[in-house]
Structure 1
Amino acid sequence: MTDTIDRTPVPAGAALRRSSAIEVHRLTTFIGAELRNVSLADAANDPAVFAQIRDLLLRHKVLFFRDQDISRADHVKLAERFGPLEDHPVAGSDPEHPGLVRIYKDLDSRPEHYENAFHCDATWREAPPMGSVLRCVEGPAVGGDTIWVDMVEAYRRLPEHIKVQIAGLRARHSIEATFGAAMPIEKRLALKETFPDAEHPVVRTHPETGEKVLFVNAFTTHFTNFHTPENVRYGFDYTPGGSELLSYLIRQASVPEYQVRWRWTKNSFAIWDNRCTQHYAVQDYWPDVRKMERAGIVGDKTF
């Protein structure tokens, strides 16, 4: 397959170190592009370069970069151009750079499965993250890829009668039922008290593009307004009917036509729009080491 190249012009005065234009190599029909001839250190410090990247992110939903040996300070600065950063209550952060979450899987880490499910980051928050800037610090020779999914396209291709059925539905998203499930009950309940289940529309409207997004994922536990006379004839419709519909919707992230897959190398980066994508970190590399650092950007309430 030949890459599609979009040589996006950069405004005058942009301090690119390698070229006067960003090369945009689309990776699939719907989602994902690798950007070349651009430095993320420049994007962190030059508003014109950053503006180009932000526009391309809205267009392609996830952007990829290789060979970006930048400082942690520039990593954080780049992410902060999108908005304030947020920490994670379970994953650890870099002590010198609050908001830079360390996702380190090494020989001291027990095998776990929080990542190998299609999910949209932190939808258990009332205002889920806007997006993330993720760097590969160290990776296995083979494996450890990440898959991203275009949930705009997933919604667009739903059957029309399903779109009608889910138009007004809302759903709960839980950290207790996911990260908390492996904790002792006291810690799990304390986690839920700090982060009560959030409720979001099943179909979200992207705040910048206006696109409709299918907004359920591995953090979603159940619909909150499914049990109505229109949907439930008898009591047994409530749980099977709602849970089977939710399962069907969550499975849409598994459709290959909506996906892009990225092979990590040292100092490669991904920037993604968390409002309209899901992702899946493939855990096929243990006991090899995989160390990632992620700056998550505070988002808005869903509507």
Structure 2
Amino acid sequence: MHDSWLSVLKDDLVTNEFLGLKRFLKGEKELGKKVYPPEGDIYSWSRYTPVGSVKVVILGQDPYHGANQAHGLSFSVRPPTRAPPSLKNMYIALKKDYPDFTPPAGGLGLLTPWAERGVLLLNACLTVRASEPNSHANRGWEKLTQKVIDVVAARKGVVFLAWGKPAEKRVAKVDKRKHAVLLAAHPSPLSASRGFFDCGHFRKANEWLVERYGEDAEINWSLAVTVVQKKPVAKRKVEEVEAEEVGDDERELLETGNREVSRVKKKSRARDSLGEVFDEDEEAAMIEATIAAEVSLGS
């Protein structure tokens, strides 16, 4: 959990009710039950959207209960999983509000860009048993996530997007003079036709933020991936020379360069082992840049 959230929720994390929830989750693990999202992602909403950055809150109910879906942000799924039906309907509503909105390529549904821009994507329940929706409901998560809502509501004005009756109940006590509370049907295929598509919530949220805080406060709802074109890196040509034609100074410089190449390759291999991937051009560019910088410093 992000430090900013831990500081305001710490007392709730040591209550008997929450400790009971932890025991329940431990029991699920001991029974061999598959639980989503992965343990490291349960509080990812807090890391993507620290307390002070919240501008909009989108409330969900239960994490997705299929493999490679839930990762701690309501409505969001990781690639290569395609956007579930509710998220697809959110894209339709967004397109109505902003005609230039384009859903992610490949039908994907990763919403981390929204979270990083101040959209708190919070589920009422933070875990679920695989293939068993609502299996972790009423175990203690709801009290903690209600506290999250209360913490946000106690701070500066934000926009709450509450879709469906369960979400509406969660924001019932939010001060509507201080915050914008926008209610609509849930985007699920079972209910979206009852007013969700035309609710206009994405545009209304931005209009309220701009009116309250100025032009820079609006949310960029785009999910387009920005591709940065890399400039080609010219590879340094090293001429082969006879050993006797190389002076002591030149030999020392070449040997230094060779050591640097070896050292940087070791660095790149270490980074690869941590999950980063370098292609041959990137590795060559990194080696060349390192040698050039250190030779420059030594000259």
- Would you call these one fold, judging by a TM-score over 0.5? no
Whichever structure has more helix as a proportion of its residues is 2
Q: Looking at secondary structure, tell me which structure has more strand per residue.
A: 1
- For this structure pair, what is the TM-score category when the shorter chain's length is used for normalisation? under 0.3
- Larger CA Rg, structure 1 vs 2: 2
- TM-score calculated relative to the size of structure 1: 0.24
